[in-house]
Amino acid sequence: MRFLAKAKIIVKVINDNKLIFTLTSGVLVVILGLIIVNHLEEKQRENEFRNKIKTSLDYAERLMKRTKYEDALIVYNNLSSEISEKNDPFYGKLNFNLGMCHWRLSEKSNNEKNMLNSIYAFMEALKIYTIKKYPLDYATTQNNIGLLYSELAEIRDTEENLKKTVQAYKEALKIYTIKKYPLDYATTQSNLGVAYAQFSYIRDIEGNLKKAVQGFKEALKFFTIEKYPLTHKRIMSNIEKIKVMKKFYDSLPEKNRKAIEGRDNK
């Protein structure tokens, strides 16, 4: 009898545990279901957001292609409040296009202001377009920054802006190699040559003229007379101008050259 009583107690415990297990399993299933539903809803909201952003970016790009830069700028500025660095790569694309938009507007009006806005936007794009993650976008953005600083150097702070020009071109050339991107390499080297030539008017005339010639000669590796006769001729003309400048500098009396060197060291 005692054995039967113990058996009944064991059965009851087992049944109670089964009930607890069943209830626990049911709760877990409900929780798991809620997590899945919540994840799916979140994914859907994210996809809807991305589609909305993509549609707006595509619309703004179409406006830019039709040279409606003011209208495109309104779209981009509205998007700026919705897109953050977390929305990679949308943040990079938005700021790159914003930079292009301001750059095109700088050719029409508010030259300096739009150039500065363009540089700022390109700098923001570089927060996403890193050299490791987006090497080609990085190089393109750096090249654009170099071109803008070159234009800005003609307006104010010539030396400082030319330094930034050279720095940006050098960054672009880390990706623009003659083997992978020969046209971009040659174009950037030519632009670098121009920047160094401009620099020679400010300081280190001999050193900067030498660097300018190096840049132009690198560009000629791609811009051959057979394939690009006009560009080849223009670059050769730049080299000849530098030779004339160097010859004139060398012909100056020593005291005049020292006076120039003294100016450079100020």
State pLDDT tens for residues 22-46.
656 666 566 666 566 555 555 555 6
- Cβ neighbours for 85, distance < 8 A, ≥ 6 positions apart: 91, 127, 128
Count of structural domains, the chain: 1
Residue 258: inside a domain, yes or no? yes
Residue 181: inside a domain, yes or no? yes
Range of the domain at 181: 129-266
Residue 189: inside a domain, yes or no? yes
Residue 115: inside a domain, yes or no? no
- Residue 194 pLDDT greater than 90, yes or no: yes
- Residue 87 pLDDT greater than 80, yes or no: no
Residue 186: inside a domain, yes or no? yes
Q: Which of 24-38, 195-209, 226-240 has the lowest mean pLDDT?
A: 24-38
Q: Work out the pLDDT band at 125, boundaries 50, 70, 90.
A: very high
**Per-residue confidence (pLDDT) for residue 147, from 0 to 100:** 96
Residue 201: inside a domain, yes or no? yes
| CATH number of the structural domain spanning residue 195 | 1.25.40.10
Q: What is the pTM of this model?
A: 0.78
The pLDDT mean for the chain works out to 83
Residue 113: inside a domain, yes or no? no
Residue 235: inside a domain, yes or no? yes
**Per-residue confidence (pLDDT) for residue 174, from 0 to 100:** 97
